Amino acid sequence: MTDTTTLPDPNTTDETPQDNKLVIYQLLPRLFGNKKTVNKPYGTSAENGTGKFNDITAPALQAIRDMGVSHVWYTGVIEHATMSDFTKFGIPLDDADVVKGRAGSPYAIKDYYDVDPDLAVDVKNRMKEFEALVKRTHDNKLKLIIDFIPNHVARTYKSDAKPAGVVDLGEKDDKTKGFAPQNNFYYLPGKSLVVPASYNPLGAAAGPKEDKKFAENPAKVTGNDVFSATPSVDDWFETIKLNYGVDYQNERQKHFEPIPDTWKKMRDILIFWAKKDVDGFRCDMAEMVPIEFWAWVIPEVKKVKPDLVFIAEAYDPKVYKQYIAQGKFDFLYDKVGLYDGLRRLMRGEGTTDDITKVWKEESRGFSSHMLRFLENHDEQRIASRDFATDPRTAIPAMTVSATLATGPVMIYSGQEVGEPGRGAEGFSSEDGRTTIFDYWGVPEHQKWMNGGKFDGGRLSAEQRQLRAFYSRLLNLTATSDAIRRGTFYELQDANNLSKEYDQKQIYSFLRYTNKQKLLIVVNFSRDKTMQPTILIPKEAMAAMGLNTQQQFTYTDLLNEAPPTDNLYLTLAPLSAYVFEIKLKQ
């Protein structure tokens, strides 16, 4: 006979939960504060408007804080290539042949030591305006994260704001060599860059210096590891790859001793921003940079500011654990696992088995380090036709994202009011995303912004309800002991024999600590009301320290409903419930 009491319970994990419950609100300053509604395709900043650092006011920050948010991720802060003309401020004009969108990509960095001049009211004092935003953010009891883009820079990279004594990227490179360990870039000696012939920077309009003849000799390797002088229009042709000591064309041989010059330069850039009092970095395409660099640089930067947070944009589940343990990242994107699974459910294409797979396999043992989200600047808007159309599909999915584990959760500006990302903005086509490349106003977000009052004054009744849901969920997530610190226990197996419990569409689990016990139930069906009786097995009751002979009350904290003394539930379509379990008095 096997003693089954010694076998691990298949409905839970042995992970020791860590309280990493950051609640992050991502916003692009260029879009967030823009009040103009013209939205002309390929429009200039004068025509379509652009938000400024100064538009992110104390009332705006307080409204974000009131949603339960702890951290704001300001996207697109560092100066990037653009088609706008700032030459009168001493900033060289970029070449439209190697800029994506009139405003330019925030991920094609032109000067790591400067901020985007578009975001300043007084361009000459742009860094002071950013520093004021940092202070204003902290004064409103929020922390801030900015992007760090380590893998590539704009073709026109040249720092004119670098501190005295700093040697610029590429300044001392030996350009006769395709690869040299101490070079900052990779070269294609004897070849000149040929920009993609099919690239049309501004549609019918002509962009600055647009002539298909951007001069780069020798050609540098393109940011997405394209070792060709003729990158395609689908490549990251506007960027050049940074050299961290990996010889890609020689079986990826590593040359990390002595420490590559690029490592030191990037460390110094991170420390520069840490000294500006930012609280963390979202590291773009972190897996395209050697893990050995992260293992070295993150501790180096934390010597300057120990409580800095490092978030990796990561997409390869096979190396997740490595990027946490060896690479020293605090958090990784959970895009390929939970996001993709929830997206399928929201589109009526998946089942709750996708959620089980995430906690049981993909992030087992380190779920506290996984950042969960349903939207960001790279992904399609929930309310877009390309994704789910109905923003209410986020109600069950966002509840799972926020409460499944003790790691961080994130929302994207406009998500909370159902922004659908409509319109072909220019470089950004009609693709269900809100552009990061063009000057644009975000219509549903602007209704919440209400001319700078940030009071939701122009929202519809449905939008107010949606935003109220996000606010209740995120505040509960931020304050609940069980969600922040609790153990996880899945209830799918306990309920799968009940015909009223459609386990492909309903998902239920427990989160519990000594102080608080929660039962979380969601219904992903768009059209079916379900009426299951939720069963909590005796093993789960024992794990929570509850006696099955006693009676309990269940109070739905998410929907602020009165307590009930049974679990005969009526689950409306696209609904979510967070019940607090308490001993009946």
> How does strand 239-241 pair with strand 152-154?
antiparallel
**Chain segment 290-306, per-residue pLDDT in tens:** 999 999 999 999 999 99
Per-residue pLDDT averaged across 339-356, rounded?
98
Q: Please answer whether residues 551 and 528 qualify as being in contact, where contact means their C-beta atoms are separated by less than 8 angstroms.
A: no
Work out the mean pLDDT of the chain and round it to a whole number: 97
Q: Secondary structure of 361-418 in the HEC alphabet?
A: HHCCCCHHHEEEECCCCCCCCCCCCCCCCCHHHHHHHHHHHHHCCCCCEEEECCHHHC
Asked if pLDDT for residue 376 goes beyond 70, the answer is: yes
**Chain segment 182-230, per-residue pLDDT in tens:** 999 999 999 999 999 999 999 999 999 999 999 999 999 999 999 999 9
* Non-local CB neighbours of 418 within 8 Å, separated by 6+ positions: 382, 383, 391, 444, 462, 463, 466
* Non-local CB neighbours of 210 within 8 Å, separated by 6+ positions: 95, 96, 97, 201, 202
Rounded CA gap, 459 and 477, in Å?
25
Per-residue pLDDT averaged across 436-445, rounded?
98
Asked if pLDDT for residue 326 goes beyond 80, the answer is: yes
* 229, amino acid identity: A
* Non-local CB neighbours of 225 within 8 Å, separated by 6+ positions: 241, 248, 288
pLDDT band at 1 (very low <50, low <70, confident <90, very high): very low
Rounded CA gap, 232 and 199, in Å?
9
Per-residue pLDDT averaged across 308-333, rounded?
98
| pLDDT score for 6 | 64
Pick from 147, 154, 43, 153: nearest CA to 94? 154
Asked if pLDDT for residue 3 goes beyond 80, the answer is: no
Q: Please answer whether residues 578 and 403 qualify as being in contact, where contact means their C-beta atoms are separated by less than 8 angstroms.
A: yes
Rounded CA gap, 112 and 131, in Å?
16
| pLDDT score for 7 | 79
Rounded CA gap, 328 and 321, in Å?
10
Asked if pLDDT for residue 267 goes beyond 70, the answer is: yes
DSSP assignment string, 171-219? TT--TT-S--TT-SB-EETT------TT--TTTTSPPTT-SS----SSE
Asked if pLDDT for residue 528 goes beyond 80, the answer is: yes
pLDDT band at 5 (very low <50, low <70, confident <90, very high): low
pLDDT above 90 as % of the chain: 98
CA angle 139–19–495, rounded 5-degree value: 130
| pLDDT score for 350 | 95
Q: Which helix (H) or strand (E) holds 129?
A: helix 126-139
pTM passes above 0.75 = yes
* Non-local CB neighbours of 214 within 8 Å, separated by 6+ positions: 95, 97, 98, 155, 193, 195
Asked if pLDDT for residue 4 goes beyond 90, the answer is: no
Per-residue pLDDT averaged across 47-64, rounded?
98
**Chain segment 469-509, per-residue pLDDT in tens:** 999 999 999 999 999 999 999 999 999 999 999 999 999 99
Report the 10 Å Cβ neighbour count for 278.
Answer: 22
pLDDT band at 358 (very low <50, low <70, confident <90, very high): very high
